[in-house]
Structure 1
């Protein structure tokens, strides 16, 4: 089984649809077709960056409810705009919709104790894109050792290899810090992260529909991992990290 641990339900306002899709769900439908051809059978799905995550998370919930065998939800929160209501938003997503993680993006504000406390109470992994600010990851992962911190792109979608190497240092030294493979273009930096920290610290992700799932999967395939390590990256790690989430159902096997 191959599980994509990082996909968005659309492009949002990050970019227009480069292929001229006539509906807002066209990019996700293309992703789903491409992922199926690549052998990806399940995907953790979150909203694209948004100015209203209450509405955006509800849209993701509709997709998950329509095809729970295909999608598992991640609740997106903005640390500035949603301050003071994170627990309510997360509670709705986990208890009513069965979502399995929290997402925070640098464009919506820095990580906060509010988000970390909710994640700790709910045993939820936090998918935190810090925009290369590894110091934030260091601070919160030390302050909340019981929270699993999944840092996409080795911390930098912008190809800041210095930040990616600093994140690898944390992967190696901090048991509760993880990363995903999405958008990491410097393949040798990714290979080094697996070598140093171990395959159990790396999740397969695509950052679809922005990136092509088959292209992202090819990176894992060329890394020549042993079968057991490859299973961890492609499915086992994400299954393990969401297994403790309260009020939830298992990801399909």
Structure 2
């Protein structure tokens, strides 16, 4: 219990706000946890309670889960119907073991690089057949240098994507869309701590053509998870807004 990010992430307020904003589907993954096998199981209960509303991503720890990543992901995909992998640099740097699991199950990896965007060059070269989503345009800490650098990666590498959660410098977000294209950007809310309606306003403020806006608000995500979603029979209706939120469920009854 060092902060909200590893204590509790209740969804009630987030879901109310997301519904009011017109967000129909949400990607869930655990808050930081000491045992991601347990955390993923808890998230799976929430996803199973509303399969029409939620997608799940399997959170893995690059060091603590070393040697069992493939099995953890296999359980998450085949038993829970999850459609992606989540990794955070706060835990440890991403590993070949995680990338190999993503390749084996044809899953996107949501990897928070915490400003260390240079790793995208290695990921793109070593695993060109794995898609990586880098949240916060590379830096939740508002490191504009990292966000500019990530935009370069978005332009140069077809398997590097970014999400918009928590991006505060609007001109950098606008530049990323202009340079890399709307097909490389995914809407993210970083719930439950950020307000999804506020995050959504940033996308609307870009004033993009409807086709490009729809890519950011859901279509890009659906394309990235298409193989896993088809396998888990969780393919949704098209044209729906998709957001992302963390969840920890010790006090949640699903």
Measured in 2, the distance between the counterparts of 1:128 and 1:249 equals 25
Of 160, 163, 182 in structure 1, the residue corresponding to residue 165 of structure 2 is 182
Contact 1:111–1:136 (CA under 8 A) maintained in structure 2: no
Contact 2:137–2:163 (CA under 8 A) maintained in structure 1: yes
- Greater RCO (CA < 8 Å, at least 6 residues apart): 2
SS at match of 2:87: strand
Structure-1 residue corresponding to 2:53: 70
Structure-2 residue corresponding to 1:211: 194
Structure-2 residue corresponding to 1:59: 42
Structure-1 residue corresponding to 2:30: 47
Is 1:168 the equivalent of 2:151?
Answer: yes
| Superposed displacement of residue 249, structure 1 | 1.9
Taking structure 1 as the reference length, what is the TM-score of the superposition?
0.90
Contact 1:243–1:250 (CA under 8 A) maintained in structure 2: no
Deviation string 1:66-119 (CA, Å, 9 cap, x unpaired) is 110110100000001111110010000000111000000011100100000000
Q: 1:200 to 1:28 in 2, by over 3 A?
A: same
Structure-1 residue corresponding to 2:4: 15
| Superposed displacement of residue 240, structure 1 | 0.3
**Range with bigger deviation, 29-38 or 48-57:** 48-57
Which runs of no fewer than 5 residues in structure 1 stay unpaired?
Answer: 1-11, 18-22
Contact 1:81–1:108 (CA under 8 A) maintained in structure 2: no
**Range with bigger deviation, 39-48 or 242-251:** 242-251
Contact 2:186–2:217 (CA under 8 A) maintained in structure 1: yes
Contact 2:25–2:52 (CA under 8 A) maintained in structure 1: yes
Measured in 1, the distance between the counterparts of 2:187 and 2:154 equals 15
Contact 2:108–2:224 (CA under 8 A) maintained in structure 1: yes
Q: CA RMSD, aligned part only?
A: 1.6
Of 204, 207, 214 in structure 2, the residue corresponding to residue 221 of structure 1 is 204
Measured in 2, the distance between the counterparts of 1:129 and 1:138 equals 15
Contact 2:5–2:32 (CA under 8 A) maintained in structure 1: no
Is 1:251 the equivalent of 2:235?
Answer: yes
SS at match of 1:40: coil
Which runs of no fewer than 5 residues in structure 2 stay unpaired?
Answer: 238-254
Q: For 1:1-253, list aligned pairs within 5 A.
A: 14-15=3-4, 24=8, 27-245=10-228, 247-253=231-237
Taking structure 2 as the reference length, what is the TM-score of the superposition?
0.90
